[in-house]
Amino acid sequence: MTLNDVTMNLPTYPMEALAKIRQDLVDAGTRVFDFGTGDPRIPTWAPIKQAMKDSIPEISQYPSINGSPELRKSIWGYCERRFSYQESDDLDLIPTNGSKEAVFHIALSLVGRAGGRKSILYPNPGYPVYKSSILFSGGTPVPINLDADDGFKIKPWDLPESVQADAAALWINYPHNPTGSTADEGYLKEIIAWCQKRDVILLSDDCYTDIYHSSWDNSGERPHHILKYGHKNILSFMSLSKRSGLTGYRSGFILGDRKLIGSIRKARANFGVGTPLPIQAAATVAWNDDEHVAERRKIFTERLDYCFERLQKMNMIQDRPQAGFYLWCPLREDDDDITFSLDLAKHGVITSPSQWLSEGIKGYVRLAMVPDQQDLKPAMDIMETFVTKRY
């Protein structure tokens, strides 16, 4: 082989496959309603864009992986407003280029820890980068199937003893992509207790922690955050991609156990992942403001409410998720999710089949609330006609 086995045998990344389907439809002159890739079409808040423009330097220089003092201050300000966290002897953070690169690179620091453990556990279905990062790091991927009957909770304690003993780290993701499920206090404490008992590093993908039903802003309810219940051997991965719509700018941070962050900081200095200064300036403005995020929640809530109601009438879904911006729709038992999505795409509506978002999970399609509000009715009309004829 020209390259190593992992590179040569890696399947096409799901979002790249969806992008090709979309482009083929556009080239054919078909009007496209893209519910596939989770890249919402909401204009970026103007002050964020202005901050980026104003901070373009006369001379380009390497940025520090530690982040500027202004960026770090803004992130800590957000942490205090949102979670009541402050920098302390056991809590620290480091900026990242969004969460994807941070999720990918962290495996390099985990495989082989604790006497040579190679396994990293992660939810199935879930973010494809969990698995690919483990493979490229020489580790052993261990997907854990999630079950709708218990709220899509990951349960590592149900694994064989030999697998638990080899676990170097565990990924959790609540609010969960793609199901929108959330985790309560009791469950998160149970996860922490299992990780501490097993000496497993707990990795929490919290990309969607600020995306929830807008009515919660009045009630004071929020998705629970893992670091509220402990810091030791726990890392939370945060991002502006969903919170502020900065998917193309790539900015986030890792927050957690200060001892782990200190070692991760030394490792990341070798990765070439210092965030460009204009993006740091934009991120500083984004983390300092909560109002534009509340407006985004209202938009996601309106989109979810409308599509959920339409899909419920089609018998495509039963329960509305209270967080995230996805609808996870079960198909009839005799239908194939890939075939369903490809057939529907011929009519201009793009969805993600569950087999592209998982390892062996069949019979679901995911709809991301990406299209503009005015495009939802014609998209749902197409889908209703398609589903009626199919079923």
Residue 296 shares a structural domain with residue 307: yes
Give the pLDDT band of residue 1 (cuts 50, 70, 90): low
Question: Is residue 32 domain-shared with residue 149, that is, in the same domain?
Answer: no
* Domain final residue pick, 289, 312, 344: 289
Q: Is residue 33 located within the same domain as residue 86?
A: no
Distances (CA, A) of 35 to 53, 137, 179, 187, 350: 31, 32, 14, 31, 5
Instruction: Please state the rounded mean pLDDT for residues 258-274.
Output: 94
Specify burial of residue 114 (Cβ count, 10 A radius: 0-12, 13-18, 19+): middle
- Statement to judge: residues 249 and 113 lie in one domain: yes
Neighbours of 333 (CB within 10 A): 7
Stretch among 33-47, 141-155, 207-221 having the lowest mean pLDDT: 33-47
Task: Identify the CATH number of the domain in which residue 37 sits.
Answer: 3.90.1150.10
The pLDDT of residue 381: 97
Residue with tokens 């380009």: 60
Residues 149, 230: one domain?
yes
Which residue has 């402990």 as its token pair?
A: 230
Choose the final residue of a domain: 289, 305, 340. 289
Looking at the structure of the chain, the number of domains it has is 2
In this structure, are 37 and 55 located in the same domain?
no
In this prediction, what percent of the chain has a pLDDT beyond 90?
Answer: 85
pLDDT value of position 104: 96
- β-sheet with 91-96: strand ranges across: 91-96, 252-257, 234-239, 201-205, 167-172, 119-124, 140-145
At 264, the amino acid letter reads: I
Domain boundary at 265, 289, 313, which? 289
pLDDT in tens, 293-347: 999 999 999 999 999 999 999 999 999 999 999 999 999 999 999 999 999 999 9
The partner residues of 238 in beta bridges, in order of sequence, read 253
Which residues span the domain enclosing 77?
48-289
Alpha-carbon span 40 to 370, nearest angstrom: 4
Q: What percent of the chain has pLDDT over 70?
A: 100
Task: Judge if 223 and 269 occupy the same domain.
Answer: yes
DSSP 159-190: S-HHHHHTEEEEEE-SSPTTT-----HHHHHH
- Return the amino acid letter for 87: E
| Whether residue 356 sits in one domain with residue 281 | no
Q: Are the CB atoms for 338 and 353 separated by under 8 Å?
A: yes
Same domain for 86 and 221: yes
54 and 176 inside one domain: yes
- Do 123 and 266 have their domain in common? yes
Q: Of 259 and 247, which is predicted with more confidence?
A: 259
Tokens of 29: 């002159």
pLDDT tens per residue across span 73-103: 999 999 999 999 999 999 999 999 999 999 9
User: What CATH number is given to the structural domain containing 58?
Assistant: 3.40.640.10
Q: Which residue has the higher pLDDT, 167 or 13?
A: 167
pLDDT over threshold 80, residue 362? yes
Shared domain check, 273 and 200: yes
Tell me what the pLDDT averaged over the chain comes to: 94
Alpha-carbon span 16 to 13, nearest angstrom: 5
Q: How far apart are CA 282 and CA 292, in angstroms?
A: 14
How far is it, in rounded angstroms, from Cα 16 to Cα 18?
5
- Provide the residue type at 58 as one letter: E
Is the pLDDT at 201 greater than 90? The verdict is yes
Q: Which of 9-23, 161-175, 280-294, 312-326 has the lowest mean pLDDT?
A: 9-23
